[in-house]
Amino acid sequence: MFLTISTTGAPERPATDLGHLLHKHPDRAQTFSTSYGTAHVLYPEASAERCTAALLLEVDAVALVRRGKGKGRGGAPDAALAQYVNDRPYAASSLLAVALSSVFSSAMKGSCRARPELPACPLPLRIEVPALPARGGADVVRALFEPLGWTVGAEPVALDTEFPEWGDSRYVSLVLEGEQRLADALRHLYVLLPVLDDAKHYWVSSDEVDKLLRAGEGWLPDHPEQKLITSRYLSRRWSLTRQAMERLELVRLAETDDSAVEEIDNAVDERTDSEEKPVPLAVLRRDAVVAALRDAGATRVLDLGCGQGQLVQALLKDTRFTEIVGMDVSMRALTVAARRLKLDRMGERQAERVRLVQGSLTYTDKRLKGYDAAVLSEVVEHLDLPRLPALEYAVFGSARPRTVIVTTPNVEYNVRWETLPAGHVRHGDHRFEWTREEFRTWAGTVAERHGYGVEFAPVGPDDPEVGPPTQMAVFTVTTENTSTVDAKEEKAA
Ligand code: SAH
């Protein structure tokens, strides 16, 4: 199993930079053992003008069978893999994808300690995979790689050159050329090689959805063949595929421009027209949330839909908050949050207090159980109303923190925004905005259904006629008994 990555140099940039990017020195051949055999990285050529790195994976077919990994879907032995003689040793498949991700893990993440500026630069790349099993043939290969900006060569490999009348095998010889960042190129291969092979060597479980979303960041949400990629990647497990597709859709929506939030929030500055410099609404909201968390005595806190991490940052400043988890569906928001918090340069003590995780609030998530409090600051209005019961169940039914703090715009106040045309919501991605009455009704029902009490508080100037710009609800558990909820979940699992 074989794959090469080549690049050419430019006057200011030698081709051998590829070695820095891959974290593998061009002068040395290196060997890594994987559970299915041995991976070698070597450079057939390495000059300032041209550099080629080759990844060769020697698959131990016997180990593959002995380890029981050669099982097909549903655990039944796969005819192709149950034998010692099969195509796995030479065909580029999920085994090669796994080897890529373990041998080149830093490169795939886009990190390069020696030359931190390199990963962001697109390079002229040429990638060759001589024997790529491709279900659907060359057309599918093109449909998958061309939308990503690759020029694709996909020549069918004859079954036997001695006997041309036998026709083509299911393999193509693949050549990709394009100006791409190396990390993107590796992530394309990591996902698309097994998609083309269409036979994973391991059992696909739900954490594959996370892997797919991580590797697909920045390209999969907009790929025209997203459905085919998702369903094949997840071995056609429909529930996982549906979940992945929904999350990709949410990512797409969440990544539509968020700047409008700030614009409108800043408009309050003009209104609270006092002598002192007015405080932006976003800051008032954060202060109100932090105060409510302190009042509740919370120390371990979830910030659900944390966006770009402003609240997480504020919480870190107060040492009473010993564990802070920010979750968001948008990888892009999380990347910005990580940068804002300087997660990679944080001291160990600080770093132990904070974690950012990707996930969707419309699915129950075991990682969210057992916290003192959860904050949903300006999040509920980003979900379609029919999805709200799913969020309600995930937060109040399953995660069940002692305290839940929800803030959302008060639509009545919109008439006070001079910059907002009548009848408009404050942000293009708001699916709805509630009146005070509507919010109270929703919150009251949720509280009752899940054994919480709820109190309301205004955030920002409380207008005698239309109320405050932001409304906040603080839920507190009254019934600890969650047996019905647990039973329901067990049944679902
Ligand atoms: N809490 C932040 C950000 C609010 S913007 C603040 O108060 O400033 C809304 C955030 O919710 C976005 O970052 C969006 O990505 C996230 N979001 C939307 N739908 C989500 C879902 N289903 N699961 C998790 N996060 C979601």
Give me 74's structure tokens: 């549903």
pTM as predicted: 0.54
Average pLDDT over residues 149-157: 90
pLDDT at 221: 87
Reported as a single tens digit per residue, the pLDDT across 401-410 is: 999 999 999 9
Q: Answer whether 39 contacts ligand 1 (Cβ < 6 A).
A: no
- Above pLDDT 70, what percent of the chain? 82
66 pLDDT higher than 70: no
The continuous run of DSSP H or E covering 37 comes out as strand 37-46
329 lines ligand 1 (CB under 6 A): yes
Are the beta carbons of 443 and 453 closer than 8 angstroms? no
Alpha helix segments (H runs only) across 119-237? 137-145, 182-197, 207-215, 226-233
Q: Look up the CATH number of domain 2-203.
A: 3.30.1610.20
| Gap from CA of 68 to ligand 1 centroid (Å) | 42
Residue spans per domain, the chain? 2-203, 206-256, 281-492
pLDDT digits 0-9 by tens, 175-209 = 999 999 999 999 999 999 989 988 766 667 778 88
pLDDT at 200: 65
Asked if the model's pLDDT at residue 487 lies above 60, the reply is no
- Dihedral sign (CA 347, 354, 106, 7): negative
Handedness of CA 23, 28, 34, 38 (dihedral sign): positive
User: Does 368 sit in the ligand 1 pocket, CB within 6 Å?
Assistant: no
Atom of ligand 1 nearest to the CA of 258: 5
Q: What are phi and psi of 420, to 5 degrees?
A: -100, 120
The answer, yes or no, to whether any atom of ligand 1 lies below 6 A from the CB of 362, is yes
* pLDDT of 279 over the 80 cut: no
Query: Is pLDDT of 276 > 70?
Result: no
**CA 377 / ligand 1 centre spacing (Å):** 8
How many whole angstroms from 9 Cα to the centroid of ligand 1?
Answer: 42
- Determine the average pLDDT of the residues in 336-346: 86
**DSSP letter at 434?**
B
pLDDT for 266: 41
| Centroid of ligand 1 to alpha carbon of 459 (angstroms) | 19
**Residue 285: closest CA among 166, 198, 388, 405:** 405
Look at ligand 1, atom 17, and give the residue with the nearest C-alpha. Answer: 305
CATH of domain 281-492: 3.40.50.150
Vertex 120: Cα angle to 55 and 14 (nearest 5): 65
The model's pLDDT over 100-129, given as tens digits with 9 standing for 90+, comes to 888 999 999 898 888 888 898 889 999 999
> Measured in angstroms, how far is the CA atom of residue 306 from the centroid of ligand 1?
6
Sheet containing strand 373-377, strands side by side? 354-358, 323-328, 300-304, 373-377, 403-409, 470-477, 452-459
Which residue has better confidence, 92 or 229?
229
Alpha carbons 391 and 361: distance in angstroms, whole number: 5
